[in-house]
Amino acid sequence: MQYLLDTHALIWFLDGNAELLPKAQATIENIDNNISVSVASMWEIAIKISVGKLELHQFPSTSDIFPRLIENRIFVSEII
């Protein structure tokens, strides 16, 4: 299946937040699924971090997020 994550789901997944339901976690981690996130979500995360409205403890900068996306086979889509 193909899935497009919204910003909250991506943040919760990256941060290991318990707000992400186990079923959603399993869907993202299932290697048979194609998981994407909109480039707009990446912009939103970068903006929120830069203005101090979001802190991702595992990622000192937004560029540190990309290796984690690659590691988890999450693709950044041009779909906005």
Q: What is the pLDDT of residues 5-19, one digit of tens each?
A: 999 999 999 988 899
Q: Which tokens go with 42?
A: 């990446």
Could you tell me if 35 and 72 are in contact, meaning their C-beta atoms sit under 8 angstroms apart?
Answer: yes
Which pTM does this prediction carry?
Answer: 0.84
Distances (CA, A) of 78 to 17, 30, 39, 42, 49: 26, 22, 6, 11, 21
Q: In this predicted model, what pLDDT tens digit does every residue of 18-70 receive, in sequence order?
A: 999 999 999 999 999 999 999 999 999 989 988 989 888 777 777 888 999 99
Which residue reads 């540190």 in tokens?
64
